[in-house]
């Protein structure tokens, strides 16, 4: 007592989606500090109080970082008191001042804190003399409670509060192993939503706080798939229109860009070869999931450099422009998409720029096929029959050349290098003589998802994935890491030169693992789907993966990184991972499209409920041990209560009732298992009560 003590590591810590609480037990008593946000209010609150013991003085310090230097430069803070509030205006001459000349941040002390003294950085030094450092200090007399609200006043409060995003609810039966996994899923879902919203609304995640933007491929996956699965069509449409307004005049998109208009010129100058497909795929998904064909006529400008956007044009015109780009970027003499600057795996950009026109990514080809297929269905729904028919003809050509050039000796190659010979050179394939990598996960699983494999081929590739592309923590991108040559790049850039063994380099990338889970649902592996979902989060993870190091359990990790000392050890000792001899660390957190993808998979793949054009699809894939599982999801603005009778396999509904009435349906085509069912919208609507609950019972085979 009698001196200041900086609160550091607490005696106990609690976190909820909207607050953090620290409890400090010390020699003379106990203190509690709570920091929280409240939906609908754009402010952060902090409340401190005495739980036990004498009332102390409180000293709160604010490190002011508004000048664009992260608060590193010596600069005194300008502030003034207005009523009970302390107002800190944005610094003149800063970027913030240029954008918000009247902007400020406000610290509002809590009523009941007693007299509060406001000072600059001088309060931090024993002699009381300021050093010109960017600090603001609030000090009280002895009191049992202290707190303040921190708010930004940069723009006027004009927008209404957005509606809440409805989470799915799950109630597992009993307390068996499968039910415990579902309970863990229930525990992580709110946190996945929180992380997904960070990625969607403010793309500066916890470990990318200094910058970021909407990655074109990213925002067309996690945020869009989440919004559609959780029944938020208005937000999904807004997202898509923003994406198309970022399209370059030449028809392509940048790799990333800022979704805020005032930062519209902060954007990448180029993009990988797969990026042009994602907005088109997203548009097709949106139309089929909502039935909103009017979006094709929504108008958005093309991005124009230094001088504003072009005249707004229909999204259909944007689509035509993008399709022209896609048509130009082909491997000569084939229907296969050329590699360009790269594909989904950012570590595999070609070291030799000349390879861009001669290298083909089998995964990009599956994406090409998926995009044209969904877009053709959406255009047909909109009555654009000529466009749809043309795309359907292209699909056949892509399928033909995929099988002709990329399925070699019965195994899908990761890449193929086209040259003067009659057949391309395979990479990431058993015949690969350059990299030593024999198998690649992405093209195999996406070829199955796209129906590009026969049932026998799918079975063979599933066996390859189980034997060579699975580790204790889930699916892996390749059967081994790329060789490291001391930073010398021969074929691919970061894969061969990055000293860090994690994310794509470490080959356990969670986003790919989630797509693998989606594929397991497609082939009807219900237990495998549940197992994969359970490996995608950290709640009690060490009970499932003993090799996992301690991780923060309420956050999404983009990867699981084997704890090798360096790339050399990783290359020589990679086999030790499956032997359980290497610790597995949680990788980069939060900032990823993965949380949104995971949320969508729970609704559309596990619970299996979604709209598709003029039908409601019911296609669940549920472990048989979960017989009696109950859930609640939102469908077309109505909460729907679901109950599942799983049968022996947990797939292929044989009977569906809505409010006790059997539903008429048609069986969906699935080449690898008995498919789900499609219920016409008019049949679905006829059984809904205007105001009562919608109760659906699904009996599976």
| Residue 487 confidence (pLDDT) | 80
Q: Options 3.30.450.20, 3.30.870.10, 3.30.910.20, 2.70.98.40; which CATH number does 12-153 get?
A: 2.70.98.40
CA dihedral 169, 171, 176, 182 (to 10 degrees): 0
Going by pLDDT thresholds of 50, 70 and 90, the confidence category of residue 523 is very high
Q: What does DSSP assign to residue 541?
A: G
Higher pLDDT, 645 or 259: 645
Q: Which of 124-133, 490-499, 637-646 has the highest mean pLDDT?
A: 637-646
Average pLDDT over residues 50-77: 87
| Residue 210 confidence (pLDDT) | 63
Q: Give per-residue pLDDT as tens, 671-689.
A: 999 999 999 999 999 999 8
Going by pLDDT thresholds of 50, 70 and 90, the confidence category of residue 309 is low
Domain coordinates of the chain in residue numbers?
Answer: 12-153, 179-208+469-599, 213-328, 331-468, 607-700
Q: What does DSSP assign to residue 429?
A: S
| Residue 1 confidence (pLDDT) | 60
Q: Give per-residue pLDDT as tens, 470-513.
A: 999 999 999 999 999 888 888 898 888 999 999 899 999 999 99
Judge contact between 318 and 300, C-beta under 8 A: yes
Average pLDDT over residues 301-313: 80
Average pLDDT over residues 312-338: 97
Q: Give per-residue pLDDT as tens, 148-194.
A: 999 998 887 766 666 678 899 999 999 999 999 999 999 999 999 99
In terms of Cβ atoms closer than 10 Å to its own Cβ (0-12, 13-18, 19+), residue 636 is: middle
d(CA 35, CA 20): 5
Q: Give whole-number Cα distances, 679 to 39, 265, 337, 606, 612, in Å.
A: 37, 46, 36, 18, 10
DSSP state letters, 108-149: EEPTTS--EEEE-GGGGSTT------SEEEEEE-S-SEEEEE
Average pLDDT over residues 106-127: 89
Going by pLDDT thresholds of 50, 70 and 90, the confidence category of residue 209 is low
pLDDT at 308 > cutoff 80: no
Of 256-260, 287-291, 579-583, which range is least confident?
Answer: 256-260
d(CA 408, CA 426): 8
Q: What does DSSP assign to residue 267?
A: B
Phi, psi of 376 (to 5 degrees): -60, -40
| Residue 435 confidence (pLDDT) | 92
Judge contact between 628 and 645, C-beta under 8 A: yes
CATH architecture of the domain 607-700 equals: Sandwich (2.60)
Going by pLDDT thresholds of 50, 70 and 90, the confidence category of residue 422 is confident
| Residue 158 confidence (pLDDT) | 61
pLDDT at 248 > cutoff 80: yes
Higher pLDDT, 355 or 280: 280
Give me the percent of the chain exceeding a pLDDT of 90. 79
In terms of Cβ atoms closer than 10 Å to its own Cβ (0-12, 13-18, 19+), residue 115 is: exposed
d(CA 290, CA 299): 18
Q: Give whole-number Cα distances, 446 to 163, 283, 404, 414, in Å.
A: 34, 19, 17, 11
Phi, psi of 476 (to 5 degrees): -125, 145
Mean pLDDT of the chain: 93
Centroid of chain to Cα 602: 14
Q: What is the pTM of this model?
A: 0.92
| Residue 205 confidence (pLDDT) | 65
Q: Give per-residue pLDDT as tens, 398-419.
A: 999 999 999 999 999 999 999 9
CA dihedral 614, 615, 616, 622 (to 10 degrees): -130
Q: Give whole-number Cα distances, 517 to 281, 462, 609, 658, in Å.
A: 20, 12, 16, 29
Going by pLDDT thresholds of 50, 70 and 90, the confidence category of residue 293 is very high
| Residue 159 confidence (pLDDT) | 61
Neighbours of 56 (CB within 10 A): 19
CA dihedral 491, 494, 495, 497 (to 10 degrees): 80
Of 319-333, 347-361, 466-480, which range is least confident?
Answer: 347-361
Of 7-21, 250-264, 325-339, which range is least confident?
Answer: 250-264
| Residue 307 confidence (pLDDT) | 59
pLDDT at 259 > cutoff 90: no
């Amino acid at each position: 007592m009698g001196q200041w003590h900086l609160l550091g590591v607490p005696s106990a810590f609690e976190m909820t989606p909207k607050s953090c609480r620290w409890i400090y037990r010390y020699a003379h008593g106990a203190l509690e500090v709570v920091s929280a946000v409240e939906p609908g209010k754009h402010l952060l609150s902090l409340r401190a109080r005495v739980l036990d013991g004498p009332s102390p003085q409180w000293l709160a310090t604010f490190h002011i970082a508004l000048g664009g230097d992260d608060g590193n430069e010596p600069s005194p803070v300008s502030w003034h008191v207005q009523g009970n509030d302390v107002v800190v205006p944005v610094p003149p001459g800063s970027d913030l001042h240029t954008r918000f000349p009247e902007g400020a941040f406000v610290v509002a002390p809590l009523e009941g804190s007693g007299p509060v003294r406001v000072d600059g950085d001088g309060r931090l030094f024993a002699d009381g003399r300021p050093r010109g450092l960017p600090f603001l200090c609030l000090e009280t007399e002895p009191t049992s409670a202290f707190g303040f609200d921190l708010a930004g006043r940069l723009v006027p409060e004009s927008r209404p509060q957005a509606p809440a995003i409805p989470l799915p609810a799950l109630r597992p039966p009993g307390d068996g192993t499968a039910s415990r996994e579902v309970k863990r899923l229930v525990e992580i879902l709110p946190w996945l939503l929180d992380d997904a919203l960070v990625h969607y609304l403010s793309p500066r995640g916890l470990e990318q706080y200094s910058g970021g933007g909407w990655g074109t491929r990213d925002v067309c996956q996690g945020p869009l798939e989440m919004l559609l699965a959780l029944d938020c069509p208005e937000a999904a449409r807004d997202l898509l229109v923003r994406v198309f307004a970022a399209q370059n005049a030449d028809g392509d998109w940048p790799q990333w860009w800022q979704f805020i208009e005032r930062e519209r010129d902060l954007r990448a100058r180029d993009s990988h070869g797969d990026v042009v497909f994602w907005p088109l795929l997203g548009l097709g998904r949106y139309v089929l999931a909502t039935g909103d064909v009017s979006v094709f006529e929504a108008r958005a400008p093309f991005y124009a450099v230094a001088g504003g956007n072009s005249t707004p044009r229909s999204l259909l015109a944007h689509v035509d422009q993008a399709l022209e780009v896609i048509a130009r970027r082909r491997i000569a003499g084939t229907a296969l998409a050329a590699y360009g600057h790269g594909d989904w795996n950012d570590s595999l950009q070609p070291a030799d720029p000349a390879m861009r026109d001669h290298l083909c990514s089998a995964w990009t080809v599956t994406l090409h096929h998926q995009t044209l297929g969904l877009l053709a269905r959406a255009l047909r729904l909109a009555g654009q029959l000529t466009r749809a028919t043309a795309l359907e003809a292209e699909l056949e050509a892509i399928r033909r050349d995929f099988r002709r050039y990329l399925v070699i000796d019965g195994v899908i190659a990761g890449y193929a290098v086209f040259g003067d010979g009659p057949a391309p050179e395979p990479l990431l394939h058993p015949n690969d003589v350059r990299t030593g990598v024999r198998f690649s996960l992405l093209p195999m699983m996406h070829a199955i998802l796209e129906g590009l494999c026969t049932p026998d081929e799918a079975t063979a590739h599933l066996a390859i994935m189980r034997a060579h592309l699975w580790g204790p923590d889930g699916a892996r991108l390749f059967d081994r890491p790329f060789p490291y040559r001391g930073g010398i790049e021969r074929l691919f850039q970061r894969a061969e030169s990055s000293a860090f063994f994690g994310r794509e380099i470490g080959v356990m990338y969670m986003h790919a693992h989630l797509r693998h889970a989606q594929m397991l649902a497609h082939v009807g592996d219900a237990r495998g789907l549940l197992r994969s979902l359970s490996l995608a989060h950290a709640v009690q993870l060490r009970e499932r993966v003993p090799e996992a190091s301690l991780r923060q359990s309420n956050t999404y990790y983009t990867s699981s990184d084997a704890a090798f000392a360096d790339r050399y050890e990783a290359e020589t000792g990679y086999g030790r991972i499956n032997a359980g001899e290497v610790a597995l660390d949680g990788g980069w957190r939060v900032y990823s499209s993965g949380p949104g993808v995971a949320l969508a998979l729970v609704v559309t793949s596990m619970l299996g409920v979604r709209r598709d054009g003029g039908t409601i699809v019911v296609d669940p894939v549920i472990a048989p041990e979960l017989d009696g599982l109950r859930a609640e999801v939102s469908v077309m603005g109505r909460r729907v209560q679901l109950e599942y009778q799983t049968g022996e396999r947990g797939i292929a509904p044989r009977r569906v009732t809505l409010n006790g009435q059997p539903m008429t349906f048609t069986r969906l085509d699935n080449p690898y298992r008995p498919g789900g069912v499609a219920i016409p919208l008019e049949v679905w609507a006829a059984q809904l009560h205007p105001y009562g609950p919608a109760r659906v019972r699904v009996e599976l085979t």
